[in-house]
Amino acid sequence: MSKDKDFMRIGSKRLFVGLICGAAAVLCGALIFGWGVPYVGLGNIHPALPYITGGLLILIVAIIAWSAIGLVLQILSGRNIFGGQARGLAIKLFLPISEGLGRLLGLKAQDIRRSFIQVNNDMILKQRRHYTPDKLLVLLPHCIQNSLCSIRLSLSLDNCERCGRCCLGSLLQLVEQYGAQVAIATGGTIARRIVVDKHPGLILAVACERDLSSGIQDTYPLPVYGILNERPHGPCRDTRVPLARVEFALRRFLSPPPVDTDKEASLHHSP
């Protein structure tokens, strides 16, 4: 596998794809059951009502089934079946149902979200859009700062002394090198305010599975490309992120791409 693909892969898409199919089946089954229970009563009101409601039911079931099939085909094949609406189907319809179905099946929420984030990232990559540096926002979690640091970086990242006790200094230097916007968020409310203030065209977000999936939902239709952090000390404390993944994403989405012949050649020819 090439380094390019390795950098962009954070989880298996198959889990979320399977849950999409299961969620569609559950929805269709619930609709059919909901129609069958009052069927006799509808006929007593008017003889045509069972057929009218049955026709509407068949239409709704067909739409759900086609949405699920089309979304799965787009995820697996990369063909632009639904265009930009595919992310909306995955985020607004199938993710909440898939999480509920996953709980019933005993699946870990973290695994479902990781699979969903991979699907979301692939959809954004296949749009092949590029952004100027002022339209690309790198959004970082507060837990990436050293937990013993006394400086409040949520007020301003300029306060960072880049002492090397955490990877934040290196991240800031990397983002500044490419000219993108960067901010640190202490929670969902602050993150939403930052997005409103900075008006990005794309968010490159670093966070855990839970925060990334909720952030992707909250900011839709604004594209959010997710990079999972590393948690060697557990969640929400002294987390890390591989700089290579951030840099690769910056180079992938920025337009025009930065000129660095040696680095481009090494990425292109990496095994």
Q: In the prediction, which pLDDT does 262 show?
A: 44
The beta strands (E) that lie in 89-161 are given as 136-141
* Residue 268 clears pLDDT 90, i.e. is over it: no
Q: In the prediction, which pLDDT does 51 show?
A: 67
Q: Which of 127, 92, 126, 97 is nearest to 112 (CA)?
A: 97
Percent of the chain with pLDDT over 90: 34
Residue of higher predicted confidence among 63 and 234: 234
* Residue 266 clears pLDDT 50, i.e. is over it: no
The beta strands (E) that lie in 47-180 are given as 136-141
37: pLDDT confidence band, cut at 50, 70 and 90? Answer: low
> Using CA atoms in the order 136, 153, 195, 260, what is the torsion angle rounded to 10 degrees?
0
271: pLDDT confidence band, cut at 50, 70 and 90? Answer: very low
The model's pTM is: 0.75
* Residue 196 clears pLDDT 70, i.e. is over it: yes
- Give the separation between CA 65 and CA 67, rounded to whole angstroms: 5
- What would the pLDDT profile of 72-121 be if each residue is shown by its tens digit? 777 777 666 665 566 777 788 788 888 888 888 999 999 999 999 988 99
Phi, psi of 267 (to 5 degrees): -70, -40
- What would the pLDDT profile of 127-137 be if each residue is shown by its tens digit? 889 999 999 99
Residue of higher predicted confidence among 50 and 94: 94
- Highest mean pLDDT: which of 26-35, 67-76, 108-117, 252-261? 108-117
Residue 110: partners with Cβ closer than 8 Å, 6 or more residues away: 209, 210
Residue of higher predicted confidence among 24 and 38: 24
Burial profile 192-221: b = 16 or more Cβ within 10 angstroms, e = fewer: eebbeeeebebbbbbbbbebbbebbeebee
Q: Which of 136-140, 164-168, 184-188 has the lowest mean pLDDT?
A: 184-188
* Residue 226 clears pLDDT 90, i.e. is over it: yes
264: pLDDT confidence band, cut at 50, 70 and 90? Answer: very low
The mean pLDDT of the chain is 80
**Residue 131 pairs with which residues in a beta bridge?**
254
How many Cα neighbours within 13 Å face the side chain of 197? 11
